[in-house]
Structure 1
């Protein structure tokens, strides 16, 4: 059957991180019609966290929940002819593939099982340090890169590089499916690659069908985070029926031959699939209007996301282009040592109490000659005591003390300083009394880099019945295209804010929805509205300067701010370069993943058009006050 005559492929995702349990794979297999189940078990730090134990034969190298999911799902997948494509192989995709093959033999199941390799580029990455490493953000001298990152880029040999994994595309996955593979185990492929590979195989696209590939890339992005595509992490969750977000079903992408898709979920499962939920997921952890992948670039500028029916949302309008000649490499190196502790203060003179503690700690560190040896030493005061509190908890706030240094002795000094000041403390000091966090721990620093795709050997390996292995070199893209400069602009011809209805002071979140997340050392945030008249206001209101004002004390002039618009979904998108410093594995921020940043921005009080506020006034959360104090 010609690709244009085939029905849409139904791809259900069962995992967005290592925490998603194995039964989620079984749920997707059992819940209704499905062709392929995919799973994304890897975050940027997964691989590096286990590499030492894997090399010492103290860890299998693959994700345990991926193994459990396959164990639970094998029989139903065979019975219903469902293909399984997951990246849970992590450091050892062959090991997981062989473990699954052993389980299949025990159950007398006839399965073709294969795995993908090529992502582990540690050896070639180390060799390339002599010729220079290119940072993902391009400008290695940019002030938004922290000093240690710049130091690593200039002299990588001065650091112990632990792991380097390239983000592979979907070529090897497609090759395996073309050869009738039932189960494909990957290591570090791009989060959306299993979905792209399945749609590519099903519809018989070529590697130059960029619109179609880009459409499947977007579909993959919308379902790759499991529960995020069906109500998880949604800012207006309080408007959804109570109880509907408990034990939710994960999303499914029905991808058409032209690359457009419908996002849905199995009937009878909890959760919600709506246009607003998927718009929030679309703007999560993207780089701007161009979404990069090893097999294509997806231009999101004119994407449209529209409710099509109950738990059905149509996604269309994605434009595809050739992929860049490079791909992302997640490199981790040993950055040093860190420790932290948290103390509480109750009620009266909280600010002064925390200032006293900081002065005591800094005094002791100075006495030991270590105060200037920290890479990071922060005293983070969070929360605010309630006015006339009716309980001690509502009168209590926290102080997080976080230290990082190249040398272990420096971090050990922070622990001693805390203990030596223990009985000199401010009035009413208390905490968990769990001092294990004071013990110095080695931390890994993350540096996202670029590597030419031509230098990566991406291969598919099919395990044959006799135990042999059939290898397929899947090559590189036949056509590539440089990315060029990212768009960064304020809106063209903004409308005067006075042209909208009478302003009222309210929280930005009374009108604007948003989601934020981490991109290495950077943070992205997409903010969107629901109607065209609100869009005219949002694009005029939310420029570079306004975002800096909204960030207030969070803004630092060493950061770089990048802005673009996605008019098809009424969204303004920002990337804040440098705010997460070293990135999630070693960031000092309390919100190291950047997930809470959007909720902070939505909590800011601004002047909003009163007609828009009144439009949604009946659906505000019960804990909300519409009057600024």
Structure 2
């Protein structure tokens, strides 16, 4: 890298090295220091915000129990400021959450105390709570739902419950900002930039945009940086975490994983890597998995650019180095995502156990009892949600009682705590009429009502945003601001790609088949996008791809979902030819989203491995080739 003092004089003459230190609020502060000390980098970025953070922080702030920013973000800065000062590494993080100015001032206070030469800025303009509350009370109308422009999609039950502004008050409303304010802060000389709700990849885009001095119409370059940011923004996902092929490697590979680094070139292409002599892996399979995570098809949206990724190339060029190319860009859409959270009501869950013989009949009886006595009391139709779920299957010829035990989960949501207490009372009245061998889980605290937050994803016009950056002096006072402005042009979104394969083949041409799990030849990744689940599946041999294209139809995906399928769901399908992948979005399974989802897997992360575990007819030669590759 050379002398740190000359680094910024060499901007744009080489790829910019952007290292990510967080993908969730729990990522510890030492990950920031690791990225700063284990090798040379130019920027460190961090994404500390899932959709729930802001809402939960807002509730605690209103109760005087939270500072509004993420404690682990402060932990990282506190541990790393000395290295940042010495090596002149710049930091861009969204750990400011609901209070980016507060975290910026706390950081500036420590910089002054330590005598470091670092300039701090914060980004503003994402918090639209007052505006959304005011508009809703004045007009009684909601902003357009994120999925409202797709006429095939049915919104979840209670999706518009926040129209009850008294009973279900809004607690947070934050727009997803792009990188424009980040670039402005860098132009004003900032070394540390504290953001609130910027889009996950925006810190990476901002770093590359500033380094290479792109214009805001260099869409191919911005799109390449967007996808590089998508790849590294989620903790250790690009270095081995959440990797469906992990079982093919020694488990020690995945202990104490490093986080990812993107080397982004002036043309927008990039190399995904990690620091040398660290554990984990960066290979084509894992990078493909991460690319396919939380997509919505062939376009990836950001407030600065629309990335077109149908022809993307992901190629392993050497050990722990994977090249990303062939991403195209176009102007961004006229709207950005607006995450609105509101008090949904109250929820509780009962966990009940059954062991061994006649398990299916036991759970059938228990559900009948619940519904009978609740209906008898006139309560059953008063719940927002009453869901009886059975989790697990008892082992055949079990060797332990644990392996013979499954549990039932009664999940209920209601407008009032009283109704959930009535549910508990009702259960206690027939609890001793239970099936043979009935027992309870030890922890009954989940049966007590607790408030829950619900999510309404909306669209917000970019032209109405007032975002910018504020520079602090050594005393923590704002001495300069810079308005971010708006993109020079917008491009209305077209209908998302949705098609069966254009190249079907005769499945029998692959020879004899045998029953095996789909995951024996297919890797995959899935994730949540509000109410929806996305899943990308791919094979590793080009000769297997025509089979996957033909086999994995929309009808096949619906069939593989089994009893989880509901008639109000909707499936979109498209293909990534260069990745040997088929991609689906299933609209609806996550209800109103993570915070109020009825499923255990509220983030949709387990969906891919559920589908991979399905037994299907697979060409025998595919399985033989996979076994040979392991030798």
TM-score by length of 2: 0.95
TM-fit CA distance, 1:614: 1.2
Task: Find the counterpart in structure 1 of residue 477 from structure 2.
Answer: 468
Q: In the aligned structure 1, how far is the partner of 2:430 from the partner of 2:30? A: 49
Q: How does 1:301-316 map to 2 (within 5 A)?
A: 301-316=310-325
Aligned to 1:332: 341
Measure the CA separation in 2 of the matches of 1:458 and 1:233: 34
Structure 2: segments with no counterpart, 5+ residues: 1-7
- What's the CA shift for 1:43? 0.1
> How far is 1:2 from its partner?
11
Secondary structure (helix, strand or coil) at the match of 2:174 reads strand
Cα drift, residue 4 of structure 1? 9.8
- Give the structure 2 partner of residue 586 of structure 1: 596
The equivalent residue for 1:550 is 560
Q: Report deviation, 1:606.
A: 1.1
2:144 to 94, 112, 134: 134
**Residue 289 (structure 2) pairs with residue 266 (structure 1):** no
**Matched residues in 1 for 2:588 and 2:19: separation?**
35
Report SS of the residue matched to 1:515: strand
CA 316–575 in structure 1, closer or farther in 2 if over 3 Å, else same: same
Residue matched to 2:232: 223
Q: Distance in 2 between matches of 1:4 and 1:35?
A: 10
Tell me, yes or no, if structure 1 residue 525 matches structure 2 residue 535. yes
Tell me if the contact between 1:134 and 1:140 (Cα under 8 Å) persists in the aligned partners: no
How far apart, in 1, do the equivalents of 2:33 and 2:143 lie?
42
* 1:356-395 equivalences in 2 (<5 Å): 356-395=365-404
SS of the residue 1:243 aligns to: helix
Report deviation, 1:424: 2.5
CA 4–460 in structure 1, closer or farther in 2 if over 3 Å, else same: closer
Q: Which residue of 2 aligns with 1:410?
A: 419
Residue 298 of structure 2 corresponds to which residue in structure 1?
289
Asked if 1:63 is matched to 2:70, the reply is yes
**Where does structure 1 lack aligned partners over 5 or more consecutive residues?**
622-629
Deviates more, 1:534-543 or 1:290-299: 534-543
- Counterpart mapping for 1:341-356 below 5 A: 341-356=350-365
Residue in 1 that maps onto 2:442: 433
| Of 97, 108, 122, the match for 1:115 | 122
Q: Find 2:285's aligned residue among 276, 282, 287.
A: 276
Q: Deviations over 1:562-600 (max 9, x none)?
A: 111111211111111111111110001011111111111
Secondary structure of 1:50's aligned partner:
helix
Partner of 1:148: 158
Distance 1:561 1:406 in 2: 32
CA drift of 1:151 comes to 5.1
Q: CA deviation at 1:465?
A: 3.2
Show the counterpart of 1:79. 86
TM-superposed CA distance for 1:259, in Å, is: 0.5
8 Å CA contact 1:37, 1:84 repeated in 2: yes
- Structure 2: how far apart are the matches of 1:362 and 1:620? 52
Instruction: Find the aligned partners of 2:511 and 2:217 in 1 and give their Cα distance.
Output: 49
Are 2:433 and 1:424 aligned? yes
Alignment of 1:245-256 (within 5 A): 245-256=254-265
Change beyond 3 A, Cα 1:64–1:492: same
Aligned runs of 1:482-561 on 2, under 5 Å?
482-561=492-571
**2: CA distance between counterparts of 1:46 and 1:620?**
42
* 1: CA distance, partners of 2:14 / 2:508: 51
Report the alpha carbon displacement of residue 152 of structure 1 after superposing the two structures with TM.
4.7
Q: How has the CA–CA distance of structure 1 residues 156 and 292 changed in structure 2, closer, same or farther, with 3 Å as cutoff? A: farther
SS of equivalent to 1:489: coil
Secondary structure (helix, strand or coil) at the match of 2:236 reads helix
Call closer, same or farther: CA 1:2–1:561 in 2, change over 3 Å.
Answer: farther
Aligned residue number for residue 401 of structure 1:
410
Residue aligning to 1:459: 468
Moved more, 2-11 or 285-294: 2-11
- Residues in 1 aligned to 2:79 and 2:530: alpha-carbon distance in whole angstroms: 34
Give matches, 1:92-111, under 5 Å: 92-111=99-118
Q: Deviations along 1:482-527, whole A, 9 cap, x unmatched?
A: 1111111111131111222322221111111111111111111111
Tell me if structure 1 keeps the 8 A contact 2:44–2:90: yes
Q: Give yes or no for contact 1:140–1:150 (8 Å, CA) kept in 2.
A: no
Structure 1 partner of 2:43: 36
- Distance in 2 (alpha carbons) for counterparts of 1:302 and 1:157: 49
The size of the alignment, in residue pairs, is 620
Matches within 5 A, 1:167-246: 167-246=176-255
Alignment RMSD, CA only?
1.9
Cα shift at 1:351: 1.2
Q: Give the whole-Å Cα distance in 2 for the aligned partners of 1:3 and 1:127.
A: 48
Instruction: Indicate conservation of the 8 Å contact 1:239/1:619, yes or no.
Output: no
Contact 2:524 2:609 in 1 (8 A): yes
Distance 1:107 1:364 in 2: 66
Structure 1 length-normalised TM: 0.95
Q: CA deviation at 1:156?
A: 6.6
Matched-pair contact (CA < 8 Å) for 1:510–1:620:
no
Aligned to 1:556, the other structure's residue is in SS state coil
Moved over 6 A (4+): 1-4, 155-158
Q: Distance in 2 between matches of 1:620 and 1:519?
A: 35
After superposition, the C-alpha distances for 1:59-92 in whole angstroms (9 at most, x for unaligned) are 1000000000000000011111111110000000
State which drifts further: 464-473 or 512-521.
464-473
Give the stretch that moved more between structures: 567-576 or 361-370.
361-370
